[in-house]
Amino acid sequence: MNRLVSAIAARLTIIAPYLWLLVFFLVPFLIVFKISLSTTVTAMPPYTPVFDLAEGWAALVEGLRDFTHENYLWLWDDPLYVNAYLNSVRLAAISTALTLLIGYPMAYAMARAPSSLRAVLLMLVILPFWTSFLIRVYAWIGILRPEGLLNQFLFFLGVIDRPLVIMGTDTAIYIGIVYSYLPFMVLPLYATLEKMDFSLIEAAQDLGCTAAGAFWKITVPLSVPGIIAGCMLVFIPAVGEFVIPDLLGGSQTLMIGRTLWNEFFANRDWPVASAVAIVLLLVLVVPIMFFQQAQARAQERGR
Amino acid sequence: MERLSRFNIVSLVFGFAFLYIPILILVIYSFNASRLVTVWGGFSTRWYVSLLSNQQLLDAAWVTLRVAFASATIATVLGTMAALALTRYTRFRGRILFTGMVFAPLVMPEVITGLSLLLLFVAIGLDRGFMTITLAHITFSMCFVAVVVQSRLLAFDRSLEEAAMDLGATPVRTFFAVTLPVILPAIVAGWMLAFTLSLDDLVIASFTSGPGATTLPMRIYSQVRLGVTPEINAVSTLLIAVVATGVIIASLINKRRDVQRRRDEQAATQG
């Protein structure tokens, strides 16, 4: 009896989350793919059903013939979409580099700080991560606007005599992404740097290496897993970002997350929105695989 | 122990200033008497008072709290199960697919998760509203819970479980008497993470909600698009205060437990 209960419990532990993810993750995903291959109509829902399993095998084969790749051709032919993809990747890549540039010295200093201070510093990095993303982006609107606090401050210092235009430019998007994702960069970097044996650097310096040389030859190579993890954690969500380009970017700033949103909510073109989603995922497949491999390797080493 | 170099100190000060000054400004301007967000008109709590009469905002906050509570609780149960399945049962059919499905939502762009769930709800004819937002939030936050709990399980000393079973405890009893108390801090952390993720979500909620179920982030977003008002600053300040208090209390409790555990271990080795 007891054994039976245990066996059932073990089964249930696997089956419950498994089924949940099949129904709410995998199936929705297949539906997106299916709809990306169907035609737009003005109705509710606004697409023609490509096939319906209830109608049997013959209808399924018939339905497969109705598949259309025209939504994908449409994306390819319209420079708006191609540009949106390229622009998203470019903005995300530059922001990731900037985040690394600010995050690395921070993580390094945290790892070298006295251990009593480390817990507090770690807490200070994590705390913004818990506060609302939307609110943190919103906070920058008041600062970056033409009559905002940054311009008032620069006026006060006498650095500028006419307001800097930052809102609605790529710069505002860089600031938004770096600000929102900085904890994602600092945490994995700190995790690898904290484990590093700093006596290696002393050894290198004793052997005549300069401080800069030791940094590039020892610290940087040893922190590569943290750099990869941090960059992927910033880059991947930044490519599909919607809130930041929508609130801080201008009307001309094309980013793919926002294009998808508009295609869906403003144009009500669900098939094209689905095709945009599929292509976005294809763009992200390479970095995601790269990230998973790095994670798997880190886990191997951890054991 | 090392002394920090000047460069280290500068990068820390710069980094933390960058992280905290915008939030600080936001909080300060929520006490601004002026209607203009960028002009200081003296100290006042009028925006907090006017919040109390903003029924739309209060309704949205209530919806958000209910969704967050329900979804975090279910996601914690499912996520803990998923973590156990990943660490304890190394062999079962479809394990690779399962691992992929647990990790993929963590890096999936929100717009795609939102769109795909909405299309599912439309396909099965589920009315959009409170229920669909909750289902969507469970799906992505259970994966975060799974990762948090899994890392605790990997560090867990399994000989404790073996000892319990040698002494005659059934696997189920072993789980509740030995495993669960040890991984409880990770489960609590997972619940808190799921709760804040749900509290915070704009994109997925916008896709999956229907008329009558507007969440607080959706309400804030639509007001922000119309213009910046000190009232939004006041809501934001309240949200920040609630979350910060929660996180600080949780970490203090954790620290106390750590100290207690170390003292126990010391007593055990000396005794």
What pLDDT does B271 receive?
58
More confident residue, A132 or B24: B24
Q: Does any domain span residue A215?
A: yes
Helix axes A270-302, A79-112, angle to 10 degrees: 30
Rounded CA-CA distance A225/A229 in Å is 6
Total domains present in chain B: 1
Rounded CA-CA distance B146/A180 in Å is 24
What pLDDT does B96 receive?
83
pLDDT at B42 over 90: no
Q: Does any domain span residue A32?
A: no
Rounded CA-CA distance A210/A223 in Å is 19
Q: Does any domain span residue A34?
A: no
Q: Which residues in A lie closer than 8 A to residue B22 (C-beta atoms)?
A: 136, 139-140, 143, 179
- The DSSP output letter for A251 is T
ipTM at complex level: 0.85
The closest of A130, A126, A141, A142 to A173, measured between CA atoms, is A141
Q: Does any domain span residue B95?
A: yes
The two tokens of residue B267 are 């007593």
What pLDDT does A225 receive?
85
Q: How far is A22 from chain B (nearest CA, A)?
A: 8
Rounded CA-CA distance A48/A164 in Å is 49
- The DSSP output letter for B271 is -
CA-to-CA separations, B22 to A121, A143, B233, in angstroms, rounded: 18, 8, 12
Asked if B51 has any chain A CB less than 8 Å from its own CB, the reply is no
Q: Which residues in A lie closer than 8 A to residue B122 (C-beta atoms)?
A: 45
Q: Does any domain span residue B25?
A: no
From A148, A232, A240, residue closest to B110, measured CB to CB: A240
Inspect the interface and report whether the beta carbons of A27 and B120 lie closer than 8 Å.
yes
Q: pLDDT-derived band of residue B174, with 50, 70 and 90 as boundaries?
A: confident
Q: Tokens 């999956």: give the residue.
A: B208
A:123-142 residues touching chain B, CB 8 A cutoff: 123-128, 130-136, 138-142
Q: How confident is the model over B214-218, as a mean pLDDT?
A: 91
Rounded CA-CA distance A273/B36 in Å is 38
Q: Is the pTM of this model over 0.95?
A: no
Determine the structural domain holding residue A250 and report its residue range. Answer: 69-302
Mean pLDDT lowest among A127-131, A199-203, B95-99, B185-189: A127-131
B:182-241 residues touching chain A, CB 8 A cutoff: 196, 199-200, 202-203, 206-207, 217, 220-221, 224-225, 228, 232, 236, 239-240
Asked if residues A132 and B224 have their Cβ atoms less than 8 Å apart, the reply is: no
Q: Does any domain span residue A4?
A: no
Determine the structural domain holding residue B215 and report its residue range. Answer: 55-270
What pLDDT does A110 receive?
92
Query: In chain B, which residue's Cα lies nearest the Cα of A183?
Result: B19
Q: Does any domain span residue A76?
A: yes
Total domains present in chain A: 1
A:233-292 residues touching chain B, CB 8 A cutoff: 236-237, 239-243, 247, 257, 260-261, 264-265, 270, 273-274, 277, 280-281, 284, 288, 291-292
Q: Which residues in A lie closer than 8 A to residue B138 (C-beta atoms)?
A: 20, 24
Q: Does any domain span residue A3?
A: no
Inspect the interface and report whether the beta carbons of A132 and B8 lie closer than 8 Å.
no
Return the percentage of chain B with pLDDT > 70, whole number.
98
Q: Does any domain span residue A240?
A: yes
Q: Does any domain span residue A61?
A: no
Q: Residue type for B70, please? A: A
Inspect the interface and report whether the beta carbons of A261 and B20 lie closer than 8 Å.
no
A:35-54 residues touching chain B, CB 8 A cutoff: 35, 45
Q: How far is B268 from chain A (nearest CA, A)?
A: 26
Inspect the interface and report whether the beta carbons of A16 and B120 lie closer than 8 Å.
no
Asked if B176 has any chain A CB less than 8 Å from its own CB, the reply is no
Q: What is the CATH number of the domain that holds B216?
A: 1.10.3720.10
Q: How far is A70 from chain B (nearest CA, A)?
A: 20
Q: Does any domain span residue B49?
A: no
Q: What is the CATH number of the domain that holds A81?
A: 1.10.3720.10
Rounded CA-CA distance A247/A253 in Å is 11
Classify each residue of A58-96 as buried b or exposed e, where b means 16 or more C-beta atoms within 10 Å of its C-beta: eeeeebeeeeeebbbeebeeeeebeebbebbbebbebbb
Q: Which residues in B lie closer than 8 A to residue A21 (C-beta atoms)?
A: 82, 98, 101-102, 139
Q: Residue type for A131, please? A: T
pLDDT at B80 over 90: yes
More confident residue, B112 or B250: B112
Inspect the interface and report whether the beta carbons of A134 and B220 lie closer than 8 Å.
yes
Give residue-wise pLDDT tens across range A230-244: 998 899 889 988 989
What pLDDT does B1 receive?
43
